[in-house]
Amino acid sequence: MNRFAEAIAEIAHQGYAVMKDLLSPEAIAALRAEAGQLWQEEDFRAAGIGRSGGYAIRSDIRSDHIRWLNEPAPTPAQKLYWEAIEELRQELNRELFLSLASFESHFAIYPPGAFYQKHLDRFSNADERVISCTLYLNENWQAESGGQLRLYLSDGSFEVLPEAGTCVLFRSDTFFHEVLPATETRFSLTGWFRRRSLATI
């Protein structure tokens, strides 16, 4: 049995999964240190909504900051992340026949008070994103600090605390979700497993 079997079974059954062993604690700590250094160097930009001609900065909708990863030239810490993501991509394709062809990812920083209102990860004019993947990097995160990811289900909602090493996977076209404000700076890696657009096949 592969190490992603339980998470993949949960995605097949309910459309989402939470796993704890995508990366080792040492790898998580290295990514957190890298994100923190980049944040101190102000190597982030305000996140926006939409794409192409419809892209806009809307701080009333989301107030996080992002920095995209460059897969062809990863840092040592990022290399371990990309290797795990590729392993997961292959298993998702093998077990769920999703035809996932690529993955895109960025660091996301939510300063105290930052949020992202309820939204869907699949753009209305694009169908490439299939599975959303968020990996949290926050050591010793406490529940009272907030910052939960809230997934909206058909019968209510489900919240995930952004603790270091927790990885949330869910179908990009199915689950509306939001990021609740936190009292501490919140670090994560957010990405999407993508297929080739069905509109061009």
In this prediction, the residues of the chain whose per-residue pLDDT falls under 50 are 200-201
Q: Which residues pair with 171 in a beta bridge?
A: 131
The residue length of the chain stands at 201
Q: Which residues pair with 104 in a beta bridge?
A: 192
Which tokens hold the place of 125? 């004019």
pLDDT for res 52: 67
Cα–Cα distances in angstroms (integers) from residue 137 to residues 24, 26, 38, 191, in the given order: 11, 11, 14, 14
pLDDT for res 1: 62
Strands 129-136 and 65-68 turn out to be: unpaired
For the residues of 176-192, what is the DSSP string, one character each?
-EEE--BSS-EEEEEEE
Tell me, what amino acid is at 127? D
151-155, long-range: CB < 8 A, 24+ apart = 151/16, 151/175, 151/176, 151/177, 152/118, 152/176, 152/177
Percentage of the chain modeled with pLDDT above 70: 97
Output the average pLDDT for the chain: 94
Element (H, E) at 74: none
